């Protein structure tokens, strides 16, 4: 069972940036109700600390080498009594929030949040509640209410982002140009946009498409 240490909420910090880990540990260490019991640089290192310290709450970054935040959340499902997870990240696309919640996160904060809100969020998550700031909750609701794109639609969306025409998409996928156009129209409708260009732009903003520099 996850236990409080001396009546305090035990916390594990998981972030690949040493300065962030040290800063969070220092900041949260000033709170009488909190106890930082460990810090790890990715999910793999975190698991050993979970076994040792049994923290109540994990502060988890999303972008980390080796095992990232989503993979860590998914792996935690195999633990009999895993810590409750509060994602703490710089990323807030609809897809980032959605994937984190689907993987099991109980809360989601940006690293730009205030100390007061972070402490409130930790306490809420430790108490068995969820914590999402209003703007994050709104983005999550919008993402969850939107129909998911099919695997084929995601494939075509990727081709759209490269500027391929319906005829070129059809040729690449061995389907007719009309069928390709129907898929494109479905994508536009699901993303609630006006045209192909806006569909690609919206998909990038929402994290549905990865843009490589």
What are the boundaries of each domain within the chain?
9-144, 151-205
Mean pLDDT score of the chain, rounded to an integer? 90
Tokens of 69: 């935040």
Question: Which of these CATH numbers, 3.10.20.30, 3.90.930.60, 1.10.10.10, 3.40.605.10, describes 151-205?
Answer: 1.10.10.10
Read off the pLDDT band of 95 (50, 70, 90).
Answer: confident
Collapsed DSSP state (helix, strand, coil) of residue 194: coil
Spatial contact of 14 and 38, defined as CB atoms under 8 Å apart: no
pLDDT at 213: 40
pLDDT at 197 over 90: yes
Quick one: CA torsion of 200, 206, 208, 210, rounded to 10 degrees?
Answer: 80
Averaged over 190-207, what is the pLDDT? Answer: 86
Q: What is the pLDDT of residue 145?
A: 61
Give the model confidence (pLDDT) of 132-187 as tens digits.
999 999 888 877 766 578 889 999 999 999 999 999 999 999 999 999 999 999 99
Distance CA 92, CA 50 (A): 26
Asked whether the whole model's pTM tops 0.85, one would answer: no
Give start and end residues of each alpha helix (H) in the chain. 18-28, 43-53, 69-76, 94-103, 115-126, 134-145, 151-161, 166-173, 177-190, 196-205
Query: 9-144 with 151-205: one CATH topology?
Result: no
CATH 3.40.50.2300 matches 9-144: yes
- Any idea how long the chain is? 213
pLDDT of 73 strictly over 90: yes
Residues 200, 160: contact at Cβ < 8 Å? yes
CA distances from 144 to 71, 97, 139 (A): 20, 10, 9
């Amino acid at each position: 069972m996850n236990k409080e240490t001396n009546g305090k909420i035990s916390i594990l910090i998981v972030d690949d940036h040493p300065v962030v880990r040290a800063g969070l540990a220092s900041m949260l260490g000033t709170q009488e109700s909190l106890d930082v019991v460990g810090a790890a640089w990715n999910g793999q290192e975190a698991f050993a600390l979970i076994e040792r310290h049994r923290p109540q709450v994990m502060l988890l970054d999303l972008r980390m080498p080796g095992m990232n935040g989503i993979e860590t959340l998914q792996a935690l499902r195999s633990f009999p009594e895993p810590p409750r997870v509060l994602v703490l990240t710089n990323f807030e696309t609809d897809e980032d929030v959605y994937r984190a919640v689907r993987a099991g996160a109980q809360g989601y904060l940006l690293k730009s949040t205030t100390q007061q809100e972070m402490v409130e969020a930790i306490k809420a998550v430790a108490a068995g509640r969820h914590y999402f700031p209003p703007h994050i909750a709104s983005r999550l609701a919008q993402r969850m209410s939107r129909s998911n794109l099919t695997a084929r639609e995601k494939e075509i969306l990727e081709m759209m982002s490269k500027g391929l025409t319906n005829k070129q998409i059809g040729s690449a996928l061995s389907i007719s140009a009309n069928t390709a156009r129907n898929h494109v129209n479905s994508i536009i409708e699901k993303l609630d946009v006006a045209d192909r260009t806006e569909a690609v732009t919206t998909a990038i903003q929402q994290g549905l498409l990865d843009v490589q520099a």
